[in-house]
Amino acid sequence: MTPYEALMDHQRETEVLGQIAGRLGWDQETMMPRGAAEQRGEELGVLEGMLHARRTDPRIGDWLEKADASDPAGEANLRHIRRSFERAARVPARLAQALARETSVAQGKWAEAREADDFAAFAPILTRIVELKREEAAALSGGGDPYDALLDDYEPGATGDTLSAMFDALRPRLIALRDRCLGATRQPAALDGTFDTERQLLLSRKLAVAFGYDLDRGRIDRAVHPFSSGSGMDVRITTRTDPADPFNCLYSTIHEVGHACYEQNIDPAYLFTPLGQGVSMGVHESQSRLYENQLGRCSAFTGWLHGQMADQFGDLGMDRDAFYGTVNRLHKGFIRTESDEVQYNLHVLLRFDLERRMISGDLAPRDLEDAWNARFEDDFGYLPPSASKGCLQDVHWSVGLFGYFPTYTLGNVYAGCLNAAIRDAIPDLDDHLAQGDPTPATNWLRDHVQVYGGLYRPREVIARATGSEPDEGPLLDYLEAKFGAIYAG
């Protein structure tokens, strides 16, 4: 066996264990009996310990030194393995254990604090986690920018400075667009009524298939939070239902189908290698957002969906045009996950700036609530009424996810670029979407993005697919055109 083969053999078993851990995670959210939580925690702890031991196995260093790749896939494999090995080696075991321990406690504290609307109850453990994350960032960065070192875990190659420049260009135009929409004379109506949840699931299943999700290699279940899980031949999604809000179920499903199709469409030869998964959070989110928004919420597709809704739930009391406005309606809210295409990114930009300041040491975690509210008022024009609708709304920081939030907006930026390229490549796409058929677009994404898995670097995937380096321009143009028209009245 060559050193490369030995390395890939070792990696294959690691990837299999990772897939298995993912499957147990799915089980935990969908099927696991309530009383099994503690035992499952122990099982996952052992599995994570094994995974950590495998990822830091000193033989990897030896193999990497001697391994030669014979093709671009081999080079990409070595790049991924080297990056993961070097990152893992830089974090002392003591620190990794402390992070695992504190974040597992913090998640519970966060849930309690949010329930009680009490930021002060969460501040001490948040302070401890930020301390540990700063320590981790310093260890990972090797003298470079600490925030970049965290960001790199979710979006290899991205830096806080380049994202910051991109986000600074987004912010004023998004705020202006938001103000213009909310200030318009004619506002789209909110959806009213009660919608049978079984029929929501039926329709969301139909949408999943229309968007290319292969149910022979996946399944849809209900869970508290929608998510996608698994790779290759077994990629499962969850959705949720709310009788008052069928869009939640339908668009959560389309969103997760975007993630799932990315995984299902990766070249099967990459299974159980580092190339066998989506290459970054940003690129992953570009797929889910494009499926959900640029395709799922465009006028041609909602025209078709309007008929489907009527079939399932009876007359909606509005025509296709009004329905299109309703699907894309902006409202004055507080919650990121409930916001629309325009305001969503403002929510993310706020979090990006605050977490960057916490990691740099410029913002003390105990001052987070004040900083959040001040910034929220700047961007949205009003104050959150409570911490649970402000800085306590997201779980991310409590579980140690710093550097994760910006990939949401980066995904939207990538989706903007890809959407422009798709519209160029498929001029009659709307004719298909108006029949409920997004496959010309999803096939294009499959062939230009998804099939490559981890072969190219994140920005490179987008640049290769679109023919130019990604930037925020296409997203802004798209949003201004779309929402300018909806709120023209």
Query: Element (H or E) spanning 8, and its range?
Result: helix 3-30
Residue 188 DSSP code: P
Q: Output the smallest distance, CB 269 to a copy of itself, in A.
A: 13
The 8-class DSSP code of residue 69 comes to: -
Catalytic residue annotation: 256
Closer by beta carbon to a copy of itself, 31 or else 69: 31
Kindly tell me which of 12 and 171 has the beta carbon lying closer to a copy of itself.
Answer: 12
Question: Closest distance between a copy of itself and the C-beta of residue 54, in Å?
Answer: 10
Residue that has been written with the tokens 């318009």 in this structure: 184
273 part of the interface to a copy of itself, by CB under 8 A:
no
**Contact at 8 Å (CB) between 409 and 392?**
no
168 contacts a copy of itself (rule: CB under 8 A)? no
Say how far apart CA 125 and CA 135 lie, in whole Å: 15
Q: Is 259 annotated as a binding residue?
A: yes
Measured distance CA(72)–CA(66) in Å, rounded: 17
What's the min distance (Å) between Cβ of 473 and a copy of itself?
40
Encoded tokens for 113: 């604090």
Structure token pair of residue 248: 């939640």
Chain centroid, CA 388 distance in Å: 22
Residue 30 or 104: which CB sits closer to a copy of itself?
30
Under rule CB under 8 A, residue 47 binds a copy of itself: yes
Instruction: Please state the closest distance from residue 215 (CB atom) to a copy of itself, in A.
Output: 7
Q: Which one of 12-20, 163-171, 315-323, 408-416 is the stretch in contact with a copy of itself (CB under 8 A)?
A: 12-20
Binding status of residue 232 toward a copy of itself by CB under 8 A:
yes
20 binds a copy of itself (CB under 8 A): yes
Has 347 been labeled as part of a binding site?
A: no
- Judged by beta carbon, residue 232 or residue 436, the one nearer a copy of itself is 232
Task: Determine if 6 is a binding residue for a copy of itself (CB under 8 A).
Answer: no
Closest CA to 277 of 262, 257, 255, 258: 262
Question: Least distance in Å: CB of 322 to a copy of itself?
Answer: 39
- Residue 24 CA to residue 229 CA, distance in Å, equals 10
Interface residue with a copy of itself among 5, 46, 367, 473 (CB under 8 A) is 46
Binding-site member from 2, 39, 435, 439 for a copy of itself (CB under 8 A): 39
12 counts as binding a copy of itself under rule CB under 8 A: yes
Q: Does 139 bind a copy of itself (CB under 8 A)?
A: no
Give CB contacts under 8 A, 24+ apart, made by 169-173: 169/472, 169/476, 170/345, 170/349, 170/409, 170/413, 170/472, 170/475, 170/476, 171/346, 171/349, 171/379, 173/476, 173/480
329 binding a copy of itself? (CB under 8 A): no
Among left, alpha and beta (phi > 0; psi -120 to 50; other), residue 227 is: beta
Q: Which residues participate in the annotated binding site?
A: 255, 259, 285
Binding-site ranges for a copy of itself (CB under 8 A): 12-13, 16-17, 19-20, 23-24, 27, 31-36, 38-40, 42-43, 46-47, 49-50, 214-219, 232-234, 236, 271-272
